[in-house]
Amino acid sequence: MARRYAIAPYITSLISNIIVQPPPHDGHYPLNLLCPYRFPHGKRKALVMSYDDGSEHDRRLVDIFNRYGIRASFHLNSGRLGLPHHISPSELPSLYQGYEISCHSVNHPDLTQLPEEAIRREILDDRHALEDWSGRPVRGLAYPFGAYDDRILALLPELGIDYARTVVCTETFQVSQNFLRWQTTCHHNRAMDLAERFLQDDGAEPALLYIWGHSYELDGFMSGDLSKNWDTMEALCRYLHGHETVHYTTTIELVDYLNAIRRLDWSATTVTNTASMAVWLHWQGNTVELQPGASMRL
């Protein structure tokens, strides 16, 4: 069942790396190195795992994540849940407890090949079903096959989508500037190398390790010694878990936090947190927590 779409992510990952322009300066600092932020609780590093398609292997993967305190986003096709080799709708509230549930469209089509109304239905109907089954808001998207175009980008805000993940692998720890073209660090088959670089990174800037994949790939669809895939994932999570400098989070939680950073109001002499959550800045060698509404003198 899973074999028929196992190849697609590798093809789409060949899509050329898209050059993302920072948002226009609108009186607030754009989310770039000019804004000396930290992740929640003052951490300089953050980790997100991101898994697509809702295959039955998510159960085993969630079990590993649970044991190591790793957080993740799961991008689901409501039209496939309940089919053979997929998780069932009734599992959503318990299986993904503590994780993000996000859209991946109803039927996993290439959205770029659909008329506009069909794109709306694929995304909105997926949101409605996933929210009904899980009892939670669903505000994220992973593009099926990683495919998108300008037409889709223009539709997403009115469909209530706050970020949309591509399959572009940058092999860097930079945070995407454009949340509707969210780029990843790497597919999980490259994760161990990047994890080592991530933990060894001693730079001054925020560093995000963002790993994506499909849980079914761990059960015999990856290259190399297939019997070792689950062991490799376990070793990766053991290696990455429990680090004092790392914030473990989901994509939507990170997006909400970064939007709060973007909404900081900078004057010539102060910076004010206009969001409803605390944010952390790194200013003149100190990490400073700014409560909602609070200001700091520069």
- Site stretch for Zn ion (CB under 5 A), options 44-52, 121-129, 237-245, 256-264: 44-52
Give me the least distance between CB of 284 and Zn ion, in Å please.
45
**CA dist., res. 219 & res. 215, Å (int):** 7
**CA dist., res. 167 & res. 237, Å (int):** 21
- Site stretch for Zn ion (CB under 5 A), options 51-59, 64-72, 89-97, 124-132: 51-59
Give me the least distance between CB of 237 and Zn ion, in Å please.
22
Give me the least distance between CB of 9 and Zn ion, in Å please.
7
Q: Which is nearer to Zn ion, 29 or 163 (CB)?
A: 163
Q: Which is nearer to Zn ion, 52 or 56 (CB)?
A: 52
Give me the least distance between CB of 104 and Zn ion, in Å please.
6
Give me the least distance between CB of 75 and Zn ion, in Å please.
7
Q: Which is nearer to Zn ion, 53 or 91 (CB)?
A: 53
Q: Please count the residues of this chain forming the interface with Zn ion, following the rule CB under 5 A.
A: 2
Give me the least distance between CB of 11 and Zn ion, in Å please.
12
3-class state of residue 273 by DSSP: coil
Question: Largest alpha-carbon pair distance within the chain?
Answer: 60
Q: Which is nearer to Zn ion, 106 or 275 (CB)?
A: 106
Helix segments in the chain, DSSP class H:
8-12, 58-68, 92-95, 116-134, 150-155, 191-200, 229-240, 251-262
- Site stretch for Zn ion (CB under 5 A), options 50-58, 121-129, 176-184, 196-204: 50-58
**CA dist., res. 97 & res. 211, Å (int):** 20
Residue at 229: amino acid letter: N
**CA dist., res. 210 & res. 142, Å (int):** 13
Q: Are 220 and 229 in contact (CB under 8 A)?
A: yes
Under the binding rule (CB under 5 A), the answer on residue 217 touching Zn ion is no
Under the binding rule (CB under 5 A), the answer on residue 58 touching Zn ion is no
Give me the least distance between CB of 105 and Zn ion, in Å please.
8
**CA dist., res. 92 & res. 244, Å (int):** 30
| CB closest to Zn ion, residue no | 52
How many CB atoms sit inside 10 A of residue 49's CB? 28
Under the binding rule (CB under 5 A), the answer on residue 52 touching Zn ion is yes
Under the binding rule (CB under 5 A), the answer on residue 53 touching Zn ion is yes
Q: Where are the beta strands (DSSP E) in 127-213?
A: 140-142, 163-169, 182-184, 186-187, 207-213
Q: Which is nearer to Zn ion, 52 or 122 (CB)?
A: 52
Q: Which residues bind Zn ion (CB under 5 A)?
A: 52-53
